[in-house]
A and B are shown apart, each in its own frame.
Chain A
Amino acid sequence: MVAITDDLPLAPRRFSLGSAIRRNPTIAIGAVLLIVLIAIAVVGPYFVGNPLKIAPVNRLRPPSERWWFGTDQFGRDVFARTIYGSRVSLIVGLSVAAISSALGLILGLACGYFRRLDGFVMRIMDGVMAIPSILLAIALITLTRPGLGIVIVAIVIPEVPRVVRVVRAIVLSIRSQPYIESAIAGGTRNAKLLLRHVLPNTLAPLIVQSTYVCASAMLIEAGLSFLGAGVPPEIPSWGNIIAQGRTFFQIAPWTILIPGAFLATTVLAVNLLGDGLRDRLDPRLARRL
């Protein structure tokens, strides 16, 4: 028999930021970018000028020391507008991700576990998924008064089925596992079984999926606002700034390219975080992509 020496790392290793970053560079890059953007969205508006102030004298000024991102056709400061716009994008992205994940988790657990519900709910999900998401949102917005809340609802509806499918697939694969069968045989109640044995297995893929929902929601919101079917035009969201810059794009390309770059960077940050988390939390999926 070999004596067990005490040089085995029995004590939990101290968390080291350096090695965590080296192991997961995409999570680190995505998280840092996202934290910077959230900080800009939270405190930025207190430091910039009024994004709504119209000054016709200063219209269509190119980026300079006075107007970092130039001005638009009403002489409004594009820098101030872009900073305010980050709030709209992040609010929409985060709330759509949270609401869709919650609804998708409940429906997915129910469908995967209660087989009689499954056929009915999944047919509805298939139908909703057949409608291109931006059109579904447009249809809802045509019928209501514009506002941030309705935009969020209009994006949640097409995103929910995507979450449901992920959760349902995991529940289906788990419920045939021996430990679930033995829990059923042992007389565990449905509620406890779902919460204690099934739910924890769905969390990692759910977190990964919710980052993709967040990125997709920010893109759809910008697209809707760009088309004039999103948040009301007086709110400076990135989509609205870009839409209002369209007529003067050839003279003042900065009104479109700068908020566009902010939007792309934000989506990139969320996607990097999602890719990194997927590789870390869900190796099976990571190998497929």
Chain B
Amino acid sequence: MTAYIARRVFAVLPVMAVVALFVFFLLRFAPGDPAAIIAGDDATSETIAAVRAKLGLDRPVVEQFLLWVWGLLHGDLGESVFSNLPVTRLIAQRLEPTAALTLATLFVSVAMAVPIGVLAAWKARKLVDRLVMGFAVLGFAVPAFVLAYVLIYFFAMQWQLLPVQGYQPIAGGLWPFAQSLILPSMALGITYMALIARVTRASMLEVLQQDYIRTANAKGLATDRVLLLHALKNASVPIVTVIGIGIALLISGVVITETVFNIPGLGRLTVDAVLKRDYPIVQGLILVFAAAKVFLNLLIDISYAFLDPRIRY
């Protein structure tokens, strides 16, 4: 077990190294003159030169790279081109809303999608199953921001049950905090839920055909015990895999969801940085988001070892 976990942890390093190389060389090999584009259309040649110096583009590539990696290893993601603030501080200030929204969506989606999938597999080909599959197909087609506006239209404008937009920090009380997250996490979670429900159903259907399920039923075990203890546990590996794969959906979706609901998180920071073409911030955010995704997937990988003791690779 320890060897397996150690191998998984070390496998993270090359992936993060490629991510870091990628964002570094993207700036250096971008077509045209990135400094001129970042400085804007009506920039003077002095401004462009200043931006170029700021990004270090006036120095040899090898020197730039070593300086950048050295900073990275010390937790230094560089400075914003326009505000001159350190990127790490800008990210730290915006971390709470994004972490709250992503984790809330993750837990709520899993807590809802897995039972839905189990129910659909248990009632396979009945009405419930068809409804769940219909929801799953729709969930893949409706974009998060379109669903977000539909939800705002009904829940906030027509029925006035929930706030239209905005974020309440957790320090300001649990209920306002939760209220401000309900609609965003529904919009963000729909594709993720559809994915998990679909895979749960498929995985359960396969397990429910096994001999030991027939035995469990034949010896008179209650249905809920058969479904949850015998079937779900054996169906869990593909479900956990897809929970991990889907984290990418959440991280991509959070940028858009925060924009719709005016949540001052990392997603808003990304969009503001893109509109101002503040590349150091975009670069830092990519590293942070990729690291979050890789870390969550590492946890998933490690959980395999507990779910299925046969897995050792």
**Minimum C-beta distance from B164 to chain A (A):** 8
Q: Looking at chain B's contact residues, is the secondary structure mostly helix, strand, loop, or mixed?
A: helix
Which residue from B16, B251, B279 sits with its C-beta under 8 Å from A143? B279
Pick out which of these stretches binds chain A: B46-54, B167-175, B220-228, B283-291.
Answer: B283-291
Contact status A131-B202, CB under 8 Å:
no
* Binary flags per residue of B269-282, CB closer than 8 Å to A gives 1, else 0: 01101110111001
Complex-state Cα separation, A136 to B283, whole angstroms: 10
Task: Answer yes or no: B137 CB below 8 A from chain A CBs.
Answer: yes
Q: Which residue in chain A gives the minimum CB-CB distance to B156?
A: A250
The residues of B that contact A288 with a CB separation of less than 8 Å are 202, 238
Complex-state Cα separation, A275 to B283, whole angstroms: 36
Task: Answer yes or no: B108 CB below 8 A from chain A CBs.
Answer: no
Which residue from A227, A242, A265, A275 sits with its C-beta under 8 Å from B255? A227
The residues of B that contact A133 with a CB separation of less than 8 Å are 248, 252
Task: Answer yes or no: A80 CB below 8 A from chain B CBs.
Answer: no
Contact status B137-A275, CB under 8 Å:
yes
Complex-state Cα separation, A289 to B202, whole angstroms: 5
* Binary flags per residue of A123-153, CB closer than 8 Å to B gives 1, else 0: 1101111111111101111111100000000
Task: Answer yes or no: B189 CB below 8 A from chain A CBs.
Answer: no
Task: Answer yes or no: B75 CB below 8 A from chain A CBs.
Answer: no
The residues of A that contact B26 with a CB separation of less than 8 Å are 139-140, 143
Pick out which of these stretches binds chain B: A36-44, A50-58, A193-201, A215-223.
Answer: A215-223
Known contacts A130-B19, A223-B143, A289-B199; is A144 also within 8 Å of B37 by CB? yes
Task: Answer yes or no: B22 CB below 8 A from chain A CBs.
Answer: yes
Contact status A143-B27, CB under 8 Å:
yes
Contact status A264-B142, CB under 8 Å:
yes
Task: Answer yes or no: B34 CB below 8 A from chain A CBs.
Answer: yes
Contact status B270-A138, CB under 8 Å:
yes
Task: Answer yes or no: B85 CB below 8 A from chain A CBs.
Answer: no
Contact status B294-A249, CB under 8 Å:
no
Task: Answer yes or no: A63 CB below 8 A from chain B CBs.
Answer: no
**Minimum C-beta distance from B280 to chain A (A):** 10
Contact status A142-B277, CB under 8 Å:
yes
Task: Answer yes or no: B146 CB below 8 A from chain A CBs.
Answer: yes
Which residue from B199, B256, B274, B293 sits with its C-beta under 8 Å from A130? B293
In the complex, 17 of the A-B residue pairs with CB atoms within 8 angstroms, ordered by the A residue number, are: A123-B14, A126-B14, A127-B18, A130-B15, A130-B18, A130-B19, A131-B286, A132-B293, A134-B255, A144-B32, A145-B37, A222-B143, A242-B146, A250-B164, A253-B149, A257-B153, A271-B140
Give chain B's interface residues, CB within 8 Å of chain A: 14-19, 21-23, 26-27, 30-32, 34, 37-38, 137-138, 140-146, 149-150, 152-153, 157, 164, 198-199, 202, 206, 238, 248, 251-252, 255-256, 259-260, 270-271, 273-275, 277-279, 282-283, 285-286, 289-290, 293-294
Instruction: List 13 extra interface pairs beyond A134-B256, A242-B149, CB under 8 A.
Output: A127-B18, A130-B16, A130-B18, A142-B274, A143-B38, A144-B32, A222-B143, A257-B150, A257-B153, A260-B150, A267-B142, A271-B141, A288-B202
